[in-house]
Structure 1
Amino acid sequence: MIEELSGPCRKHFAPKNYGEGLSEIVVVLMCQDSALNLKRRLRYSRKESKVYMDIMLDLPAMSAATPEARKQEVMQRLFDEVPEVLERYRIPDFDREVFVADLRSWIAHIGWRERYSV
């Protein structure tokens, strides 16, 4: 699923310019058993102009889910959590609103997230 998602994502976003303040958003999809109580990592590096974030997925639920349901869950979490994390940081020269609108539009149009509209 990661390969199926990352290629089209890079192809869509690489030519776009949302400002010089943020060069990359690094998302780590982390499946875990909630009993482990692992904490979600979030970090903004001004020096690197990058945001690093974990998206925590429930391991038993993802293991039991169909491939289509897994894709839907990942897309829903990206749709919801990337904008939420970007709101936490004051990133100069980054057009957050345009990026979030573009992200949500891209998710809605790749067909992995059909339940909700933009």
Structure 2
Amino acid sequence: MKLALAQYTSADIVKETNFITDFSNDLKSHFSKKEYGDGLKNIVIGIICVSSSLEFFFKPRRPKYTKNKKHIKSEGFEYDIEKYLEFDLKLDFEIIKIASNGEAKKYLAQEILKSLDIIETMEAKIKDFDLINFKRDLEDYFKEKKII
């Protein structure tokens, strides 16, 4: 399973959101050897945290599942995706702006866990995915890291 976070944040909270990159790398590494079925192999969660003046430009997109192999060319990059789910999660800018690093991580972890309900709504498209064990492993990871 590949699990990654894509970051869309305001320039004025770069320092407060630097942890998201490390968080994503840790998640990617932790879940890289885990399997939850053949229906879903990649999850990318877009983390949106922007000031109110930029909210219009960064609205959460609808979840998108790509079952069959697809070649992508975007912004100078080329890659293939398959059994790939991407969705966005919007964080409260004001909470992140004033939160300590530890508080921000806890907030993000809780929001990620809540966002997994999106996968349940897509069960007609995503066959053969063990969401229960995936959620449990994610919660266990957050507990192990003392994030929740």
Shorter-chain TM-score bucket reads: 0.7 to 0.9
Residue in 1 that maps onto 2:122: 89
TM-score computed with the length of structure 2 as normaliser: 0.68
How many Å apart are 1:30 and its aligned residue?
0.5
Query: What is the count of residue pairs matched by the alignment?
Result: 112
Residue in 2 that maps onto 1:116: none
**Letter of the aligned partner of 2:40 in structure 1?**
L
Residue 26 of structure 1 pairs with residue 77 of structure 2: no
How many Å apart are 1:49 and its aligned residue?
0.7
RMSD of the TM alignment (CA)? 1.7
C-alpha distance in structure 1 between counterparts of 2:135 and 2:41, whole Å: 15
Which one of the candidate residues 81, 94, 111 is aligned to 1:60? 94
How many Å apart are 1:31 and its aligned residue?
0.3
> What's the CA shift string for 1:50-97, capped at 9, x where partnerless?
110111012122112222211111111112112x11111121121111
Contact 1:31 1:56 in 2 (8 A): yes
- Greater helix fraction, Structure 1 or Structure 2: 1
Residue in 1 that maps onto 2:135: 100
C-alpha distance in structure 2 between counterparts of 1:88 and 1:60, whole Å: 29
C-alpha distance in structure 2 between counterparts of 1:68 and 1:101, whole Å: 21
**Letter of the aligned partner of 1:40 in structure 2?**
P
Which has the larger Rg? 2
C-alpha distance in structure 2 between counterparts of 1:76 and 1:100, whole Å: 12
- Give aligned-pair identity as a percent: 28
How many Å apart are 1:34 and its aligned residue?
5.0
How many Å apart are 1:17 and its aligned residue?
1.1
> 5+ residue gaps in structure 1?
114-118
- Greater strand fraction, Structure 1 or Structure 2: 2
Residue 43 of structure 1 pairs with residue 64 of structure 2: yes
Contact 1:34 1:58 in 2 (8 A): no
Residue in 1 that maps onto 2:29: 11
